[in-house]
Amino acid sequence: MKLHRLVVTCGGTGGHFYPGLSTARVFQEEFGGEVLLLLSGVNSARQKEIACAAGIRAVELPLMPSPGHSPARALRFLRGLAGGYRAARQELAAFQPQALLGMGSFASLPAFLAAKKQHIPCFLHDGNARIGKANRWLSRGAELLATAFPPVNAAACRCRVITTGMPVRPELAKYAGISRAEAIAGLNREFGSRFDPALPVILIFGGSQGARIFNVTCPAALKAQNRADFQVLHLAGPARLEEALGAYEGAAFPRLVLPGSEKMELFLGAADLVLSRSGGSTVAELALFGRGAVLIPYPYAAENHQSDNADFLASAGAALRIDNAQFTPERAQELFAGFLADPAAWAERGRRAAALARPHAARELIEEISAGTASRDCIPG
């Protein structure tokens, strides 16, 4: 039986929400299916607005906190689980989905358990190279767990594990083939910049929160090059914009410093070198656009999973991983000097990154879910 109705449950950080939203959009827009997003987390109200603006129906469930080690945290966890479970049961009973997809984190737990109670087949996706605690636990009741990258700990799961890639925003997938010249022209139109396609472009971004290592160390190291024959794109994070602007004061090279942007296809398309953290979506997008990168994993990521993500590209010669503590001002100066002396070496890293891209990850994931639900329908009894 064809898959017509799918529930996607996600929440918490954008690393769980945006891949879930992308999968929902592809299911609705390309497969013609009906989809419902169940959200639970501190950002669920804003995420609901984003989903609705994209034409995806979304419902907020009660807040589902992660379990902790203190009695107070455990009590909040149990209350969130009970409230979320009741609300999810009502939504599932009304929507009658053929399958549920959980995008990781404990935000997926209430809807997952409610779906199991109603005998709805459950599937999981993990956006990192290290499968997280919640997904490892939920795998006991899942038909399949799909991953963004080849997992380093697949043996810890209790269901079949495959790699389908990371679902990225359809807009990014659409423009992944943009030429560097087109991207630079687009930046100049969009932001009034005057970037020259003949000069190399360095893109720096440290996520929505920014980080001193990107917003202070990098500008100082770039200014220390004492040259103007390169250009810089810098997304500093909304709370760190003034810090980054101040760090670039007196620089001779052209630059565009912004808090953030929804036009990542232009920034990635224009870049010759990228410096960033190594969240799952970032790593997938670097591969999609074929960009060589210096990846500085967030040192406080759960179970150090950003290091595993960085190693996925680094082990293929597509990126250079530098741990946060090792990215000193001297190391940064050396890195930028090496890039400016031989940009072609980084172009080769970009080609290796492109070979790892999974541009149709959302489609592959949906096809696996469809096949899994169809096989269950064929089982007698």
Quick: pLDDT tens for 36-47: 999 998 889 999
**pLDDT value at residue 208:** 60
**pLDDT value at residue 380:** 39
Residues 6+ apart with CB under 8 A from 133: 302, 303
Note the pLDDT tens digit of each residue in 186-198. 999 999 999 999 9
The values of phi and psi at residue 298, to 5°, are: -65, 120
- Give the chain's residues under pLDDT 70: 1, 207-210, 376-381
Longest dimension (CA), the chain: 74
**pLDDT value at residue 207:** 67
**pLDDT value at residue 381:** 37
* Sign of the C-alpha dihedral computed for residues 349, 352, 354 and 357 taken in this order: negative
- Burial class for 366, CB neighbours closer than 10 Å (0-12, 13-18, 19+): buried
**pLDDT value at residue 379:** 45
Q: What is the CATH number of domain 5-168+359-377?
A: 3.40.50.2000
Strands of 99-102's sheet, edge to edge? 57-60, 34-39, 5-10, 99-102, 122-126, 144-147, 160-163
- Same fold for the pair 5-168+359-377 and 177-354: yes
**Global pTM?**
0.94
Alpha-carbon distance of 376 to 362, in angstroms, equals: 21
- Tell whether domain 177-354 is in CATH 3.40.50.2000: yes
Angle between helices 44-53 and 14-29 (to 10 degrees): 30
Kindly list the domain boundaries of the chain, sorted by start residue.
5-168+359-377, 177-354
Instruction: Give the position of tokens 């966890």.
Output: 77
The values of phi and psi at residue 180, to 5°, are: -60, -40
